[in-house]
Amino acid sequence: MGTVSSSFDIENIEHINKNPKKLDTSHIKKELQKLLGDISYTAPKYSAKRIDGKRAYLKARAGELFEPPKINSIIYETNFLSYNHPFISFDITVSEGTYIRSIAQILLKKIQTKGTLSSLERVNEGKFYFDREKAINPLKNLKIKTIKYNGEKLWIQQGKKIDIKYLCDFSQGLGKIVFDDFFTIVDIKKDKVEYILNDIKLHQ
């Protein structure tokens, strides 16, 4: 609580209130329970939703003005875990395609405070449960040519437009740009570079 972010997570923090007001735990539990059932909300501007054929997060990073689409979700179950000021932790079971960042914002509004999602862990999907899982290296199974990049690493992380002059040893079509801690997949068509997947973390 106390942190304002344009992307509803810790990647685009705009303001931090170091002394957010303390809340009553029973009030948090009550409002969390009220989230159950059908819920309609606006998708985050920093999301992978396509708006006019372009990823929403790319439009947001470019400063474009647009209206994110409405999302309809189902909240099946909520479970309050802890409130260690200023952190609230809870489990939530939701329908496919739900944006937890947005659900967190709805809860924050209900408890009359501001904040952002600082951590998210998916513990199961359908009948598949994560148990002692090990991270895999996606590069070992991704049969896409590596492209050499001579620009600023931060530009890629922020999803800024890539000028073809910063690329070496490339061909038209799909390619990957690899750094020490993440990689990005791009599509090159007529010497124009478009992000397909960006900032994919590499586990050491």
What number is the average pLDDT over the span 150-157?
A: 89
pLDDT category at 130 given cuts 50, 70, 90 is low
Per-residue pLDDT, 48? 82
What number is the average pLDDT over the span 91-107?
A: 94
Residue 197 has pLDDT above 60, yes or no: yes
Nearest to 101 by CA among 115, 113, 87: 115
- The CA distance from 165 to 111, in Å, is 50
pLDDT category at 148 given cuts 50, 70, 90 is very high
Give yes or no for a contact between 87 and 118, defined as CB atoms under 8 angstroms apart. yes
- The CA distance from 53 to 43, in Å, is 16
Collapse the DSSP code of 75 into the 3-class scheme (helix H, G, I; strand E, B; otherwise coil) and give the result. Answer: strand
Of 22-26, 63-67, 106-110, 175-179, the one with minimum mean pLDDT is: 63-67
Residue 204 has pLDDT above 60, yes or no: no
Return mean pLDDT, the chain.
88
Residue 55 has pLDDT above 70, yes or no: yes
Category of 73 on φ-ψ map: left (φ > 0), alpha (ψ -120 to 50) or beta: beta
Per-residue pLDDT, 131? 66
Per-residue pLDDT tens digits for 17-53: 988 999 999 999 999 999 999 999 988 888 888 888 8
Strand partners, 174: 187
Per-residue pLDDT, 66? 87
Please name the fold of domain 3-129: Pseudouridine synthase (3.30.2350)
